[in-house]
Chains A and B, each alone.
Chain A
Amino acid sequence: AQTVTQSQPEMSVQEAETVTLSCTYDTSESDYYLFWYKQPPSRQMILVIRQEAYKQQNATENRFSVNFQKAAKSFSLKISDSQLGDAAMYFCASSTQGGSEKLVFGKGTKLTVNP
């Protein structure tokens, strides 16, 4: 079974600064994916970034990047040049390659961006 743990219920950052959200996971599978999803208040869940476990290179998407430490089972999200629109709940998730590829989510981290 997969588990995902987010140990930071809330984080805050000043506009234009950098913030890192933490995530650890556990899985017995060799082929899996890791994700960060963003859920703004009363709005839909949006994929921020995805990492294939077999890729050693950390994924990046514009201001968003991850630090994937496979041996440590750690998958943190770094947001650079934070913007007011980044304020949201951020969920870390994993899925196993093949089969249903259902997502297993952490409890989330609420990010506040201060002007």
Chain B
Amino acid sequence: DTGVSQDPRHKITKRGQNVTFRCDPISEHNRLYWYRQTLGQGPEFLTYFQNEAQLEKSRLLSDRFSAERPKGSFSTLEIQRTEQGDSAMYLCASSSRDNQPQHFGDGTRLSIL
């Protein structure tokens, strides 16, 4: 059990650029979650995968955001045409099945110049 891994740890980009983050869940965890955490706030749910199927998306996930989990293992979160308000910590979590707690990664901190 190597834990949930996220890459990169930090991303600095100019407004309007596209960025992509990767999350590798704990192996054999079929549930994967993305959350966004802004300064001074608790994490907010963005989207949820069970295996490769994206089963729930928050209204926070605008059309500029897209997430995939093509083979039911790692996941990517892409933000197109980044805006200042996208600056946040993006957290990934995974769990093994129903009723099991979520394990979090270290997060990717996005800064928009």
List the interface of chain A (C-beta within 8 A of B): 4, 33, 35, 37, 43-47, 50, 91, 93, 97-108
Counting chain B CB atoms within 10 Å of each CB, which of A35, A45, A46, A108 scores highest?
A: A45
Q: How far is the CA of A43 from the CA of B106 in the complex (A)?
A: 6
Query: B107 contacts A103, CB within 8 Å?
Result: no
Output the nearest chain B residue to A50 by Cβ-Cβ distance: B101
Decide if B48 touches A105 in the complex (CB within 8 Å): no
Smallest distance from the beta carbon of A115 to chain B beta carbons, Å?
Answer: 26
Find the A residue at minimum CB distance from B103. A47
The 6 closest A-B pairs by CB, nearest first: A105-B42, A45-B104, A100-B48, A102-B45, A100-B56, A44-B106
- Which B residue sits closest to A105, measured CB to CB? B42
A44 close to B107 (CB less than 8 A): yes
Q: Does B91 contact A (CB under 8 A)?
A: yes
Residues of B within 8 A of A101 (CB): 31, 95, 98-99
Is B43 on the interface with A (CB-CB < 8 A)? yes
- Do residues B101 and A35 form an inter-chain contact, with CB atoms below 8 A? yes
What is the interface size of chain B, counting residues whose CB is below 8 A from a CB of the partner?
A: 26
B73 on the A face (CB < 8 A): no
Greatest chain B CB density within 10 A among A97, A98, A105 is at: A105
Cβ-closest chain A residue relative to B95: A101
Given contacts A97-B98, A104-B45, 12 further A-B contacts (CB under 8 A): A33-B99, A37-B104, A44-B3, A45-B93, A47-B101, A47-B103, A91-B42, A91-B43, A98-B98, A102-B56, A103-B102, A108-B40
With a CB–CB cut-off of 8 A, which chain A residues contact B93?
Answer: 45, 103
Residue B41 lies at the interface, judged by CB distance under 8 Å to chain A: yes
